[in-house]
Amino acid sequence: MCALTIGRLEDLLQKRLLFQECGYCIRGINSTKSAIYLCLSCGEIYCSRHFPLHAAKYPHPIAAEISQKSKFEDQDSHVKRAKSADFFSVAPVTLSPGSSQFEPYHGTEINLHDLNLLVFPDEEQKAPICPHISAVNPWSVSNVHKCNACDLTHNLWLCLSCSTLSCGRRQFDGTGGNGHSLAHYDGEGHPIAIRLGTMASKSPEVYCYVCDSMTSIDERTSSYLHEFLSSEAASQLNREQSLLELERSKPSAMDESTLSKHELLDNTYMGIRNLGNTCYISVILQMLFFNASTAIGDFHFQNCYKNPNSCLECQLIKISIALSRRESYAFCDGLFPVCFRRLLITELPSLASSSAQQDAAEFFQAFLCKISRLDSFREAINSSFPVSIMNAIECACCGSRKVTPSFSDQFSPIVVVPKGSVTSALSSYFGSERVSNCDQCCTAKYAHNFICASSAVPKFILIQLYVFEFSDGKIVKVPINLSSFSIDSEFPASVVKMEKAQGNAENLDELTALGFSRPHIEKAIKNADNPSDINALVDWLCSNPEDDGESALPNHDASDQGEMVSLSNQKYRLSAIIAHCGKSTNCGHYFLYIKNEDAQWLMFDDEKVYKISEAKVDFASSYLLLYSL
């Protein structure tokens, strides 16, 4: 029996159709121009390939087959402005058990044959009203030609407390302004400014410097705005482009005039659309899933009974398949990960819930910690990246040794000061340093960092260049000239110290005292997220009570503690660069360079993908370097 009425169906389509894609892949009616199927039991949308999977699992065999026919233009005089709409035809279909062939549905409980829909795009989403809008006063402008502090005549912002006109911030590409509007806020404490040229628009661009984000206006401010727009000065304001128009017209990470037309690639590679300061998420997803070794299959789909749009694992598999190019999506002009972003807000609220830019390195670390716990990704992630970086303090004379994590979290990038070259910076990072005298024999003790290797040598090493620091409550860019730093195309793997993950003697004794067997403990050391953390080991042991490890691992004695992993004759080669333009991790823009299997450099800038020569790679903007074996 169908659970959706005609009215409910129309409502669903009006709100979701243009922006909804299949729950299991990125096919949607706007991108495929072919039919999609809306389940008439639960209201979810699937493509022709994946609806049979959905129908078999629940079962929900009846669907509305929706096809886009043409565009419709509403020019009715009663409509204030013409609206462009999409015209769809809808027909009921059904699937027989075990079949993937759709057949017309002739049930009497719902009749869709005559239902044709006009679906109008949603209006632009508005920013919330911030509490500082109360600082707004009635305003007037005598000069609308230039900044009050310099001669700039574009990107001008009007203070809504005192009517001072100032230029906006300088953008990462050198455009924008000289930052006098921000300087005015720093000096006077006036938080709200409005951009000239947008006052008469339906959505004026209003910024709050306290919240550091755009804001909508309240009724009181709106009344001030209408009063001002009736003044003579207001007629000069619409000469300015809005920020949205500027954003659409300008290249984002590189001047497109320097990129010949043939370098803008077709859909061989998938870009990711920016959902509003989400480039830090996009570059990490592209870097992770461009390489086939970190992409996984879709077996999870068969056994997952969650709504795929509410399942993080389903959405990650969907993104992984799209970005790793295992399926052709020639119809798609960029991934639009709305459901994934919504799930991230729940899973990683501190790094995804606000509209502000975030640190890509911090997001990488938190994101890998999260997905390494998902069944589909655990093995691929744990074998691809170092789970933990440890610090050992040991005495060369008596052999006493203490091991502690270098970082509190797992999957931390290796942070190096960009001096000399990548190879020399790594040699310094993993080199030994005298720290104190031994408590037992009074001879010198030395400390060194090492990667805790699990069952395999990590395929990838991620290096974070120390180009940001915490200053005056903000993360700001360190003035380092990276042009003098040599980003090696490769380095000997032996530069990186690695040791087998064996746990330490104290952990082994404590776990044995708790009643766990030695083989079971050794299996935990191989598989736990952080084998040097006794809590992580206990979590794994309790989660895998039947896996006693008796047949899985050879016996190790105490001499295995600290055993070095041989990396002779192997090399890590530069495969990706995450670059950053801007003054801090919380502003600016991230973009990605990747070297493909043909040693050709590609540049990923949101949904755009370019093929570029090595000479055009902006090494001076490097922030994260990915090396692979």
- Say which residue the tokens 């302004």 belong to: 177
| Lowest mean pLDDT, pick from 49-63, 304-318, 563-577 | 563-577
- The stretch 257-273 carries a mean pLDDT of 63
Decide: 374 and 312 in contact? Cβ < 8 Å: yes
Structure tokens at 371: 């997905």
| pLDDT attached to residue 532 | 62
Higher pLDDT among residues 369 and 88, named by residue: 369
pTM of this structure: 0.69
Least confident of 148-152, 358-362, 538-542, 545-549: 545-549
Start-end of CATH 3.90.70.10 domains in the chain: 257-382+571-628
Predicted local confidence at residue 108, as pLDDT: 56
**CATH topology for the 131-249 domain:** Herpes Virus-1 (3.30.40)
Q: For residue 69, is pLDDT > 80?
A: no
Token pair belonging to 45: 């949308």
Of 529 and 60, the structure prediction assigns the larger pLDDT to: 60
* Dist CA 180 CA 169 (whole Å): 7
Binned at pLDDT 50, 70 and 90, residue 382 comes out as: confident
Query: What are the tens digits of pLDDT across the range 475-485?
Result: 666 766 777 78
Q: What is the pLDDT of residue 331?
A: 62
Instruction: Return the ∠ at Cα 263 (arms to 282 and 316), rounded to 5°.
Output: 20
Half-sphere exposure for 241 (CA within 13 Å, toward CB): 10
How much helix, strand and coil, in percent to the nearest 5, is found in the chain? 30, 25, 45
Burial class (CB in 10 A: 0-12, 13-18, 19+), 558: exposed
Which DSSP category does 354 fall into?
Answer: S
Residue type, 219: E
**What percentage of residues in the chain have a pLDDT greater than 70?**
68
What pLDDT band is residue 73 in, cutting at 50, 70 and 90?
Answer: very low
**pLDDT score of 570 more than 80:** yes
Instruction: Report pLDDT for 156.
Output: 84
Q: In terms of DSSP bridges, do strands 498-500 and 444-453 run parallel, antiparallel, or are they unpaired?
A: parallel
Helix (H) or strand (E) run with residue 486 in it: none
Residue 626 has pLDDT above 70, yes or no: yes
pLDDT score of 405 more than 50: yes
Q: Which residue has the higher pLDDT, 219 or 96?
A: 96
Domain 6-119 carries which CATH code? Answer: 3.30.40
Residue type, 540: W
Q: Is the pLDDT of residue 550 over 80?
A: no
Residue 593: which residues within 8 A CB-CB, separation 6 or more?
Answer: 576, 577, 579, 601, 602, 603, 604, 612, 617, 618
Q: Chain-centre distance of CA 391, in angstroms?
A: 30
Comparing 562 with 352, the larger pLDDT belongs to 352
What pLDDT shows up at residue 257?
A: 44
Task: Please give the single-letter amino acid code of residue 143.
Answer: N
Nearest alpha-carbon partner for 215 in 100, 355, 352, 316: 355
Regarding the domain with residue range 257-382+571-628, which homologous superfamily does it belong to in the CATH classification?
A: Cysteine proteinases (3.90.70.10)
pLDDT at residue 75, rounded to an integer? 43
| More confident site: 255 or 139 | 139
pLDDT exceeds 60 at position 505: no
- How many other C-beta atoms are found inside a 10 Å radius of the C-beta of residue 358? 21
pLDDT at 575: 95
Condensed to tens digits (0 to 9), the pLDDT of residues 287-308 reads: 999 876 665 777 899 999 999 9
The pLDDT of residue 248 is: 37
- 154 — pLDDT class (breaks 50, 70, 90): confident
The amino acid present at 593, given as its one-letter code, is: Y
| Gyration radius of the chain's alpha carbons | 29
Would the pLDDT of 50 be above 90? Answer: yes
Identify the pLDDT of residue 133: 85
Split at pLDDT 50, 70, 90, the class of 392 is confident
